[in-house]
Amino acid sequence: MKIKIPVILLFLSFLVPLIPYTYAKTSGYLSFGYVKGEKESEFYYGTFHDPNVGLMFFDEIVAKVNFFAEMRFHEGDLFELDQAWVGINPSESFNLKFGLYLVPFGKYNESSRPHETMLITVPLNVESLYPQRWRDIGILTQGRWGGLNYSAYIGNGLSESQDLKGGQQFKDNNRDKGKGGRIGWMLQQGFEVGYSYYKGKFDDVNLRKLVMHGFDAVWATTDGFQIIAEYAKSQVENPEEFSEGKAEGYFVQCSFVIESLRPVLSYQKLKYNDRFHGPGFIGLESSGEGISIDKSRWALGLVLVLSQKLLLKVEYDWNKESEAKLKDNALYFQMAYSF
pLDDT at 76 (0 to 100) = 64
d(C-alpha 124, C-alpha 107), whole Å: 15
pLDDT at 77 (0 to 100) = 62
pLDDT at 317 (0 to 100) = 98
Q: Please give the DSSP secondary-structure letter assigned to residue 322.
A: S
pLDDT at 80 (0 to 100) = 87
d(C-alpha 43, C-alpha 37), whole Å: 5
Q: What is the pLDDT of residues 102-127, one digit of tens each?
A: 999 999 999 999 999 999 999 999 99
Rg (CA), the chain: 21
Q: Are strands 191-201 and 209-220 parallel, antiparallel or unpaired?
A: antiparallel
pLDDT at 144 (0 to 100) = 96
The CA angle 219-221-224, to the nearest 5 degrees, is 110
Question: What one-letter code names the amino acid at 327?
Answer: K
Given 2.60.40.1190, 2.40.50.320, 3.40.50.300, 2.40.160.10, which CATH number is that of 27-51+91-338? 2.40.160.10
Question: Which among 220, 297, 289 is positioned nearest to 256, based on CA atoms?
Answer: 220
Query: In the predicted model, is pLDDT for residue 145 greater than 70?
Result: yes
pLDDT at 322 (0 to 100) = 87
d(C-alpha 236, C-alpha 213), whole Å: 12
pLDDT at 5 (0 to 100) = 45
Query: In the predicted model, is pLDDT for residue 173 greater than 70?
Result: yes
Q: What is the pLDDT of residues 280-305, one digit of tens each?
A: 999 888 899 999 999 999 999 999 99
| Mean pLDDT score, 151-155 | 98
Q: Please state, for a pLDDT cut of 90, what percent of the chain lies above it.
A: 86
d(C-alpha 89, C-alpha 141), whole Å: 10
Q: What is the pLDDT of residues 233-286, one digit of tens each?
A: 999 999 999 999 999 999 999 999 999 999 999 999 999 999 999 999 998 888
DSSP-derived 3-state class of residue 103 = coil
Query: In the predicted model, is pLDDT for residue 177 greater than 50?
Result: yes
| Mean pLDDT score, 41-57 | 93
Query: In the predicted model, is pLDDT for residue 308 greater than 50?
Result: yes
Instruction: Give me the residue spans of the domains in the chain.
Output: 27-51+91-338
Q: Are strands 94-102 and 65-74 parallel, antiparallel or unpaired?
A: unpaired
d(C-alpha 99, C-alpha 86), whole Å: 7
Reported in sequence order, the residue ranges of the chain that DSSP labels E, i.e. its strands, are 25-37, 47-62, 65-74, 80-91, 94-102, 135-145, 148-155, 178-188, 191-201, 209-220, 226-236, 245-255, 261-274, 291-305, 310-321, 330-338
| Mean pLDDT score, 321-332 | 91
pLDDT at 88 (0 to 100) = 98
Per-residue pLDDT band at 160 (split at 50, 70, 90): very high
d(C-alpha 71, C-alpha 283), whole Å: 31
With beta carbons less than 8 A apart as the criterion, state whether 181 and 140 touch: no
d(C-alpha 267, C-alpha 295), whole Å: 11
